[in-house]
Amino acid sequence: MMTEITKGVTAINTEKYTFDRPEYFDLDQIFDCGQCFRFDRNETGGYDGIAFGMPVTLTQDKETVTVFGAASDSFERVWRDFFALDDDYSGMRDDISHRFGDDRTIKSAMSAGKGIRILHQDPWETVCSFIISQNNNIPRIKKIISAMSARFGEKKICGGKEYYAFPTPEALAAAGEEEIFALRTGFRAAYIYDAAAKVADGKLDLESLRALPTDELIANLMTVKGIGPKVASCAALFGFGKTDAFPVDVWMKKVMAKYYPGGLDIPSLGKYAGIAQQYLFYYERYQVEKRA
């Protein structure tokens, strides 16, 4: 097929799908809030990445978002849900504002991160990715995931560029702990292998977990070696659509100590507590810290 060079696109085929950019949607904020590790900003301002085994390049302007590498059928089948385009962010934000009342911090956070949107990612990839995230930084997390995908995932080609799908639990279980450790995963190798083995042999049925209440889902995920409340909550929020999950990491501990020293009643934040968490996380890590 013919190729084209356009803003944010490097030699990718002309198959593309463009949709109207929602009011609360910004690729920079979506991919810069710590929820997804497979998309990278390219030299022309777009994003190259892969999800559900489908490589794409993404661009946006004030009015539209374009998915290069996707036709209308694959967009409707995969990308509409991935980008949570049917989620009512206006209603979610109203609910969060109501629950926080006159809280100045959440108002500032919601303004600063108004383009954040929780992606609907693959549960297995999310569980494994947040195991890798333990005591790690984002560049190294991405490096490990890329190496693991190149070693055990299926190769895909888009626009002449190689991508690798995230490896299946069966592939990682068959590889064994030593092979996973060889990718410089460190102590996480045992955790990744245990998760892969449990999913591969059906002891942990990720699809059936979707139907569980959030606290039960988190408890089930914590049966995997090395998965604690933070990793399980991240997986619940980013991989299972549990928007009431509220992960507490070092950044959120900083937020709580700085803005809510008397404590934050998380259950009272309701079914969108996780969305509020993302606004607060992004605000402290990427806005306040940049101004310091």
Nearest CA to 167 out of 183, 186, 148, 184 is that of 148
Q: Are residues 218 and 156 in the same domain?
A: yes
Work out how many domains the chain is built from and give that number: 3
Active site annotation includes 16:
no
Which spans in the chain are helix H? 27-30, 72-74, 80-82, 89-100, 104-112, 123-132, 138-152, 169-175, 177-180, 188-200, 206-209, 214-221, 229-239, 250-259, 273-282, 289-291
Shared domain check, 136 and 33: no
For residue 288 the two structure tokens come to 């306040």
Q: Is the same domain home to 235 and 130? A: yes
Residues 110 and 250 placed together within one structural domain of the fold: yes
- State the pLDDT at residue 13: 52
Same domain, 160 and 252: no
* Shared-domain flag, residues 76 and 143: no
CATH code for position 40: 3.30.310.260
Q: Which of 239, 254, 280 is the last residue of a domain?
A: 239
Q: Do 165 and 111 reside in the same domain of the chain?
A: no
Instruction: Quote the pLDDT of residue 1.
Output: 31
Q: What is the DSSP letter of 25?
A: -
Are 275 and 215 found together in one domain? no
The answer for residues whose C-beta is within 8 angstroms of residue 291's C-beta and 6 or more apart is: none
pLDDT tens, N- to C-terminus, the chain (292 residues): 333 334 444 444 558 999 999 999 999 999 999 999 999 999 999 999 999 999 999 999 999 999 999 999 999 999 999 999 999 999 999 999 999 999 999 999 999 999 999 999 999 999 999 999 999 999 999 999 999 999 999 999 887 889 999 999 999 999 999 999 999 999 999 999 999 999 999 999 999 999 999 999 999 999 999 999 999 999 999 999 999 999 999 999 999 999 999 989 999 999 999 999 999 999 998 766 565 5
Catalytic residue, from 107, 161, 225, 230: name it.
230
Pair 133, 204 in one domain: yes
Q: Which domain covers residue 266, as residue numbers? A: 90-117+246-291
Q: Verify that 161 and 257 share a domain, yes or no.
A: no
235 and 255 belong to one structural domain = no
Partners of 53 in beta bridges: none
Domain endpoint, select from 239, 257, 272? 239
Q: Which of 41, 65, 86 is the last residue of a domain?
A: 86
pTM listed for this prediction: 0.92
Please tell me the number of Cα atoms within 13 Å of 98 on its side-chain side.
9
Q: What is the pLDDT of residue 14?
A: 59
For residue 184, give the CATH number of its domain: 1.10.340.30
103 and 60 in a common domain = no
